[in-house]
């Protein structure tokens, strides 16, 4: 198959979050399976600092955006360690900016216009480059107009009439909602601005538009695919998703095992694997304790937290539990990340009061993130919702036992430890259901008790996590199967038209 993957972020060229990791790794894994993938990405200002060579092409673009004809050109690169071609769509007024989507906490006011142009440019490039595409894989709201244009404008136009589309929803909370007059920018007929297709409470909703017109839809874990069809996690789109439930599925993300592998990780004080994990984790724990100003003691349970300090990540649960434990429980905590000012301030205040038990770094450090995964005994992720989550998989690959709330991808990867799961040999962590501090505290207490009192059980949890396949190879095979299924159904429907 020849797949076109379009995204607003691709690691290592442009990144703000997990979307980039998926769209930078999946194409390379698909290539290893024998498929050809071509990637499209906006040429942001930041791509000039990308660690890959980027060259200009002679391909000039001219596409309609509203009543204007907007020009641009294509640049070309390749994903590292692969032959995957990346085309970067250049238009300086739209993309030569300080950030990808906005500055100083506010989105760019012309984001709709910017990504209308990007979507139209991708489709025009298919014609100009004479690409023979079997399927277009769109990702999130920034590329969600691709399925719309295929269905509403290009359905009978060569070379587009035989190209189906897949839309992947990485986080339903981000939908690309704009005022209704931005519908004019799309160039689409106003008849599509209705409650079933592109309209959302009087606004233009690009993600909803893609959901309405894509031939297949998926998201980044099976449980999240079910959760987004409920009022609790549907963000107003649960009805649209229920309507397309027949073509909605979930595929769990993988992790990049080249970057996240305790056997080869350059950020660790000692590399280790299944054979010597006790020695390796003890060495990295001592290094982590020393770096964070904590007492170096192998027996004290060390709890790690890495990521955004936000309510969605469960910080409304973490704070009261951390405050109580620091005052009463002999355990250490390490926190790395930035986020909502109230959480940063509260953690800093706790650090000042309990510097012997709490180490913090209110920034981001890739080496420290790796060291925490290797040196911590427990990793905390009590998320309110979590489409997939990667840190719980990093943790298990490094022999660090996760404590999570049972939601989204966390529910699909972490199996709670109890008599039944231990007997089946499936237990690999600790989880809870209710989004309450008491539920987190009970689960964390069970984990610490097991760590301190049941070394044989702890060994089984560590080794279960380390021997599981968290790589992208399994996920890539599932995407290839979804592509093939979507193409087959699309062609069958065409034959019956």
What are the extents of the domains in the chain? 2-254+474-496, 277-469
Structure tokens given for 457: 């059980």
93 membership: H or E segment, kind and range: helix 92-95
Residue 429's alpha-carbon distances to 220, 405, 491, in angstroms, are 21, 11, 44
Other C-beta atoms closer than 10 Å to the C-beta of 179 total 10
Say which residue the tokens 């009022």 belong to.
231
* Correct CATH for 277-469 of 3.40.50.2000, 3.40.30.10, 3.40.50.720, 3.40.50.300: 3.40.50.2000
* 3-state SS, residue 362: coil
Angle at 174 between CA 169 and CA 178, to 5 degrees: 120
* 3-state SS, residue 68: strand
What's 312's DSSP letter? Answer: G
In which order are the strands placed within the sheet that holds 177-178? 177-178, 203-205, 199-200
Q: Give the pTM.
A: 0.93
pLDDT of amino acid 18: 84
200 membership: H or E segment, kind and range: strand 199-200
pLDDT of amino acid 16: 87
pLDDT of amino acid 25: 93
148: Cα within 13 Å, side-chain hemisphere: 26
Q: Which CATH class name applies to 2-254+474-496?
A: alpha beta
pLDDT of amino acid 456: 97
Intrachain domains 2-254+474-496 and 277-469 with the same fold: yes
87 beta partners:
40, 76
Alpha helices, DSSP H, located in 214-306: 222-227, 238-243, 277-291
88 beta partners:
41, 75
Rounded distance between C-alpha atoms, residue 400 and residue 397, angstroms: 8
Torsion angles phi and psi, residue 158, rounded to 5: -75, 140
With beta carbons less than 8 A apart as the criterion, state whether 461 and 422 touch.
no
Among candidate residues 337, 354, 332, 319, the one with its CA nearest the CA of residue 441: 319
Mean pLDDT, the chain cut into blocks of 10 residues (497 residues total)? 97 90 95 98 94 95 97 97 97 96 93 98 98 98 98 94 97 97 98 98 98 98 97 96 98 93 98 98 98 97 95 96 98 95 96 97 94 98 96 97 98 98 97 98 98 98 97 95 97 82
* 3-state SS, residue 101: coil
pLDDT of amino acid 497: 60
Structure tokens given for 51: 């660690």
Structure tokens given for 443: 């689960």
438 membership: H or E segment, kind and range: helix 437-453
Rounded distance between C-alpha atoms, residue 428 and residue 411, angstroms: 12
Among candidate residues 245, 241, 237, 279, the one with its CA nearest the CA of residue 262: 279
Q: Is the peptide bond before 385 cis (omega within 30 degrees of 0)?
A: no
Torsion angles phi and psi, residue 471, rounded to 5: -75, 170
Rounded distance between C-alpha atoms, residue 98 and residue 8, angstroms: 15
Rounded distance between C-alpha atoms, residue 427 and residue 422, angstroms: 6
19: Cα within 13 Å, side-chain hemisphere: 24
């Amino acid at each position: 198959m020849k797949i076109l993957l379009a995204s607003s972020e691709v690691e290592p060229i442009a990144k703000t979050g997990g979307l980039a990791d998926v769209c930078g790794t999946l194409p390379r894994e698909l290539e290893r399976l024998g498929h050809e993938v071509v990637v499209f990405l906006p040429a942001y200002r930041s791509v000039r600092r990308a660690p890959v060579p980027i060259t200009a092409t002679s391909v000039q673009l001219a596409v309609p955006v509203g009543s204007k004809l907007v020009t641009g050109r294509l640049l070309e690169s390749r994903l590292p360690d692969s032959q995957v071609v990346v085309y970067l769509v250049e238009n300086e007024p739209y993309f030569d900016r300080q950030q990808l989507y906005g500055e100083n906490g506010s989105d760019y006011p012309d984001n709709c216009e910017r990504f209308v142009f990007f979507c139209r440019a991708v489709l025009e490039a298919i014609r100009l480059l004479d690409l023979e595409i079997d399927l277009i894989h769109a990702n999130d709201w920034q590329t969600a107009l691709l399925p719309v244009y295929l269905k509403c404008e290009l359905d009978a136009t060569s070379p587009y009439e035989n190209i189906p589309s897949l839309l992947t929803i990485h986080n339903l909370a981000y939908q690309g909602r704009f005022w209704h007059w931005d519908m004019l920018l799309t160039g689409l007929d106003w008849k599509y601005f209705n409650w079933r297709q592109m309209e959302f409470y009087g606004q233009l909703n690009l993600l909803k538009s893609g959901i309405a017109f894509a031939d297949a839809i998926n998201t980044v874990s099976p449980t999240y695919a079910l959760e987004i069809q409920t009022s609790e996690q549907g963000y107003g789109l649960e009805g649209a998703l229920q309507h397309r439930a027949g073509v909605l599925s979930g595929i769990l993300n993988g992790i990049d095992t080249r970057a996240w592998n305790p056997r080869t990780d350059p950020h660790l004080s000692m590399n280790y694997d299944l054979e010597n994990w006790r020695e390796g984790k003890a060495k990295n724990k001592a290094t982590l304790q020393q770096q964070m100003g904590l007492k170096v003691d192998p027996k004290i349970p060390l709890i790690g937290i890495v990521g955004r300090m936000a309510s969605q990540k469960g910080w409304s649960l973490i704070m009261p539990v951390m405050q109580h434990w620091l005052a009463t429980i002999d355990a250490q905590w390490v926190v790395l990340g930035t986020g909502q000012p109230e959480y940063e301030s509260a953690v800093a205040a706790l650090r000042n009061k309990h510097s012997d038990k709490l180490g913090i770094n209110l920034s981001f450090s890739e080496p420290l993130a790796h060291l925490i995964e290797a040196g911590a005994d427990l990793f905390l992720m009590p998320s309110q919702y979590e489409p997939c989550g990667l840190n719980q998989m990093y943790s298990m690959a490094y022999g660090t036992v996760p404590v999570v709330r049972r939601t989204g991808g966390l529910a699909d990867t972490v199996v709670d430890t109890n008599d039944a799961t231990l007997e089946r040999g499936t237990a690999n962590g600790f989880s809870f259901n209710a989004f309450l501090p008491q539920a987190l505290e009970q689960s964390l207490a069970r984990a610490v008790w097991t760590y301190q009192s049941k070394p044989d059980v702890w060994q089984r949890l560590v080794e279960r996590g380390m021997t599981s396949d968290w790589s992208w190879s399994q996920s890539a095979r599932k995407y290839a199967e979804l592509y093939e299924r979507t193409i087959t159904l699309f062609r069958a429907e065409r034959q019956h038209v």
